[in-house]
Amino acid sequence: MTKCNAHITFSVSGSRVRNALATRVAEVLRFTARAAGSVVLAAMAFLSAPGPATVAAQPAPLTGLDDYITAAMEAWQVPGLAIAIVHDGRTAYERGYGVRDVTTGEPVDQHTLFAVGSTSKAFTSAALGILVDEGRVRWDDRVIDHMPWFEMYDAYATRELTVRDLLTHRSGLARGDAVWSRWPHDRREIIRRVRYLKPTRSFRGAWQYQNLMFLTAGEVVRAASGKSWDDFVAERIFAPLGMTRSVTSVTELPRLDNVASPHVPVDGVPTPVPHKNIDNVGPAGSIYSSASQMARWVALHLESGVHEGQRLVSDGTMAEMHYPQMAIQADAPENRLHSRDAVMNFNAYALAWWVLDYRGRKVVDHGGGIDGMRAHVAFMPEEGIGMVALSNARPNNLIVALMYRVFDHFLDGGAGADAADWSTLMLAEMREGEARQAEARRELAANRASGTSPSRPLPEYAGTYEEQYHGAVDILHGDDGLRLSLGGKTTGRLEHWHYDVFRMVPDNPANGEMFATFTLGADGVVGTLDFGGLGTFARR
């Protein structure tokens, strides 16, 4: 066993000392026991570094934050945003900005509901953690021990995949998200179709973000508890935390008030779009909540599983959820922060959380995005600082910029004149990305062949085309030409592009344009369809 001499410095006060000590000691013990592997080496280097300086006393209100957020929202074209900041176990600040919907002008406040997207994953991890505490699940249980019918493309992965693997994005599978985002398959059917999704990396050989495995984790909750993931989260997490307005399904929104509308840019203008129903992958991202209620969730993590004196999750389980499990390249361009003392040395994934360092402190965070909504949740465990930011526009990284702004504010005793302008830095990066996308669209248009026509009359393209993993694509012909439907969830019209290629213009602009390429057989009959690069769909 490798000896680990970690220099531990505590810079916390009050109730933070006990929790920080328990968490840090648990981490050091685990690092000692797991001293092999890149995750451990990176994490040990991080923990062995000199401890951070003590956080300055909390400034009296967050000077300049309101003006900063208001100006940044205008620059980013974000209609509405809510933020909550947690410090030493209590909500220190919460407020809403802008409007829920640009067409109604109703204001956002701290109680406005937003989709929190993939930050829902941590609720799934916590649900399993509660079952671990109760002895009904172990992190390294095989999935097939709870779900005997589960199957992956690779037989070895089917036999060996564990609950921990589900929560750490190391299944070897690429995302394969179209099966739930474009089609209306239910949860069990999506998991059944996983057996047809070919791996792109070796099992446990690389970190690849994967929503389908979190859906599977939610079904493990059902198998082990006898309750649906939705009911378990509502009863065992929402209820004890007092998250009375938080829900796991978009279908609950009609009975609730003060709900933000998602917005996407249409001709450069933020435009409301329908809420997207992703209940079929709910454990990976379907929760709606408010900044005020998500602050309670953040506080639970900062208080190591205790809420208002009641323990909901054990110390050990909370520490395990925040412990690095899979290393992620820390020096990748997207991980290079643009500020003094902001070099990222350590980046890993825990159980539904990213774990990284910022200015010498450990940060645990996760983002989320569903059509027209963006969310970010983050905290510095040893410093007792946490935040949540929710917005009704996508794309935008303003919510991530606010994380750094809040951290800088506390670490520096107030955001001074020399504080990094994270909003401006990240907006510039987004604009660069948009420019590259615009250039790609121009190149695509330039390569479009003019003067061509479809090989066959349009009615001959109509029919049902099917692919084993995704399902069926229905091509319909009517007075307005060809239309496409994926089980009714994704619909749009097909405009001729060139030759036998058609551009799908979606009815919901949040879905984005895709291309459909038809291929004729040797007999001249339309036989297959390649849709959006998802594979070859054969005509029935």
pLDDT at 11: 32
Peptide bond into 240 cis (omega under 30): no
pLDDT at 108: 98
Among the ranges given (179-193, 211-225, 359-373, 406-420), the one the predictor scored with the smallest mean pLDDT: 406-420
CA 515/CA 539 separation, integer angstroms = 17
The residue to which tokens 């600040």 are assigned: 93
CB 407 within 8 A of CB 308: no
Assess whether 443 and 475 both reside in one domain: no
Q: What is the dihedral of CA 50, 23, 288, 236, to 10 degrees?
A: 180
Among the ranges given (45-54, 421-430, 459-468, 531-540), the one the predictor scored with the smallest mean pLDDT: 45-54
Provide the pLDDT confidence category of residue 90 given band limits of 50, 70 and 90: very high
Examine residue 464 and state whether it is found in any structural domain, yes or no.
Answer: yes
Contacts of residue 535, defined as CB under 8 A and 6 or more positions apart, other chains included, come to 467, 469, 470
Among the ranges given (142-146, 162-166, 187-191, 412-416), the one the predictor scored with the smallest mean pLDDT: 412-416
Q: Is the pLDDT of residue 44 over 80?
A: no
Q: Is the pLDDT of residue 5 over 70?
A: no
Separation of first and last alpha carbons in the chain: 60
Q: Which of 204, 221, 210, 211 is nearest to 325 (CA)?
A: 204
CB 15 within 8 A of CB 89: yes
Examine residue 473 and state whether it is found in any structural domain, yes or no.
Answer: yes
Q: Largest Cα–Cα distance of the chain, in whole Å?
A: 79
The 3-state secondary structure of 21-35 reads HHHHHHHHHHHHHCC
| Mean pLDDT for the stretch of residues 46-75 | 62
Q: What ranges make up the beta strands (E) of 317-436? A: 326-327, 347-349, 354-358, 361-370, 373-380, 385-391
Examine residue 184 and state whether it is found in any structural domain, yes or no.
Answer: no
Provide the pLDDT confidence category of residue 346 given band limits of 50, 70 and 90: confident
- Specify the CATH number for the domain of residue 518: 2.40.128.600
CA 98/CA 389 separation, integer angstroms = 13
Provide the pLDDT confidence category of residue 62 given band limits of 50, 70 and 90: confident
Domain boundary among 447, 473, 498: 447
The two tokens of residue 420 are 């990094």
Q: Is the pLDDT of residue 58 over 80?
A: no
**C-beta atoms surrounding 405 within 10 Å:** 25
Q: Is the pLDDT of residue 245 over 90?
A: yes
Examine residue 208 and state whether it is found in any structural domain, yes or no.
Answer: no
Beta bridge partners of 45: none
| Cα–Cα separations (whole angstroms), residue 116 to 122, 178, 282, 328, 490 | 11, 20, 11, 23, 22
| Mean pLDDT for the stretch of residues 388-397 | 93
DSSP summary character for residue 339: S
Print the domain residue range for 401.
1-120+234-447
Q: Which of 375, 394, 383, 414 is nearest to 84 (CA)?
A: 375
**Amino acid occupying residue 431:** R
The two tokens of residue 521 are 């057989």
pLDDT tens for 165-217 read 999 999 999 999 999 999 999 999 999 999 999 999 999 999 999 999 999 99
CA 143/CA 161 separation, integer angstroms = 6
CA 175/CA 199 separation, integer angstroms = 10
Examine residue 72 and state whether it is found in any structural domain, yes or no.
Answer: yes
CA 121/CA 368 separation, integer angstroms = 9
- Higher per-residue confidence, 51 vs 324: 324
3-state secondary structure of 36: coil
* φ, ψ (nearest 5 deg) of residue 465: -120, 140
pLDDT at 63: 74
CA 188/CA 229 separation, integer angstroms = 13
Assess whether 366 and 245 both reside in one domain: yes
Examine residue 147 and state whether it is found in any structural domain, yes or no.
Answer: no
Assess whether 369 and 511 both reside in one domain: no
The residue to which tokens 């070895």 are assigned: 156
* 389 alpha-carbon distance from chain centroid: 13
Assess whether 337 and 470 both reside in one domain: no
Assess whether 428 and 306 both reside in one domain: yes
- Specify the CATH number for the domain of residue 52: 3.40.710.10
Assess whether 433 and 465 both reside in one domain: no
Assess whether 432 and 517 both reside in one domain: no
Examine residue 325 and state whether it is found in any structural domain, yes or no.
Answer: yes
| Mean pLDDT for the stretch of residues 81-110 | 96
Assess whether 527 and 414 both reside in one domain: no
Q: Which of 467, 482, 455, 432 is nearest to 540 (CA)?
A: 467
Assess whether 505 and 393 both reside in one domain: no
Assess whether 403 and 491 both reside in one domain: no
* Degrees, nearest 5: CA angle 181-185-186: 110
The 3-state secondary structure of 122-181 reads HHHHHHHHHHHHCCCCCCCCEHHHHCCCCCCCCHHHHHHCEHHHHCCCCCCECCCCHHHH
pLDDT at 420: 82
Examine residue 199 and state whether it is found in any structural domain, yes or no.
Answer: no
Domain boundary among 418, 447, 476: 447
Provide the pLDDT confidence category of residue 415 given band limits of 50, 70 and 90: low
Q: Is the pLDDT of residue 24 over 90?
A: no
CB 187 within 8 A of CB 215: yes
Q: What ranges make up the beta strands (E) of 75-123? A: 80-87, 90-98, 114-115
Assess whether 494 and 423 both reside in one domain: no
| Cα–Cα separations (whole angstroms), residue 74 to 85, 403, 423, 427 | 22, 18, 11, 11
Q: Which of 126, 17, 109 is nearest to 364 (CA)?
A: 126
Assess whether 462 and 316 both reside in one domain: no
Domain boundary among 391, 418, 447: 447
pLDDT tens for 434-446 read 999 999 999 999 9
CA 407/CA 30 separation, integer angstroms = 28
CB 470 within 8 A of CB 535: yes
Q: Is the pLDDT of residue 307 over 90?
A: yes
How many domains in the chain? Answer: 2
Beta bridge partners of 388: 84, 377
CA 154/CA 158 separation, integer angstroms = 6
| Mean pLDDT for the stretch of residues 304-331 | 92
